[in-house]
Amino acid sequence: MKLPNLDLIKYKAENVLRNHDKFTEKLKKAREEDPYRAIDLVLHSFPQMWGSTALGFDGIGGQAMTEAYTTVVHERVTNTFIIFFGERPCYSLTDPTEEFFEDLKNLQIAGINEARERYLKEEAPRKPKGISITWDCRVANCPTCGAFIREIEDENQCHKCGQRLDWSKKEGE
């Protein structure tokens, strides 16, 4: 099993953070208190066993027990975590639930689909931005990360960041 390139993971994590709305908002607030506040990254890397070659990405993969390194990058100023499987970023969390910390302690981080259910704190759904109608569905941008999303039956969260979405119509729409 190949050891992860932690310098590369750190570089990728910094790029993910630069495009993460919640992170940039929280960092801006922290810098109002201390203008010299810098990004503070801590990396935790450990081997983890997966039931398929898709690792924690939960996609289509070969049905073979696969061991790969999981790296959790913790940005301490904003309490943001970026989860890497192998050397690829999979998802990020800001102020995750206690279940996340318990899984981190046990060195068994959940894949992306399970993480959406277990690691995100409940927050009020937000209206998608710029809703427009195309053919038989509505499309918009996620209010948190800006990802292009479309309304799909029973899909009430962003596929990229997990933000819960409220597709209900306002009067006059």
Helices then strands, counting H and E runs in the chain, come out as 4, 7
Assess whether pLDDT exceeds 70 at residue 15. Answer: yes
59 CB-near residues (< 8 Å, 6+ apart): none
* pLDDT number for residue 2: 83
Assess whether pLDDT exceeds 90 at residue 30. Answer: no
57 CB-near residues (< 8 Å, 6+ apart): 85, 88, 90, 111, 112
pLDDT tens digit string along 77-130? 888 899 999 888 888 888 888 999 999 999 999 988 888 888 877 655 555 555
* pLDDT number for residue 108: 92
Q: Which helix (H) or strand (E) holds 131?
A: strand 129-134
Query: CA-CA distance, 13 to 4, in Å (whole number)?
Result: 14
Assess whether pLDDT exceeds 90 at residue 132. Answer: no
Instruction: Count CB neighbours of 18 within 10 A.
Output: 11
Mean pLDDT, the chain, as a whole number? 79
Structure tokens at 82: 């970026």
Global pTM?
A: 0.66
Assess whether pLDDT exceeds 60 at residue 133. Answer: no
The region that residue 22 occupies, defined by phi over 0 for left and psi between -120 and 50 for alpha, beta otherwise, is alpha
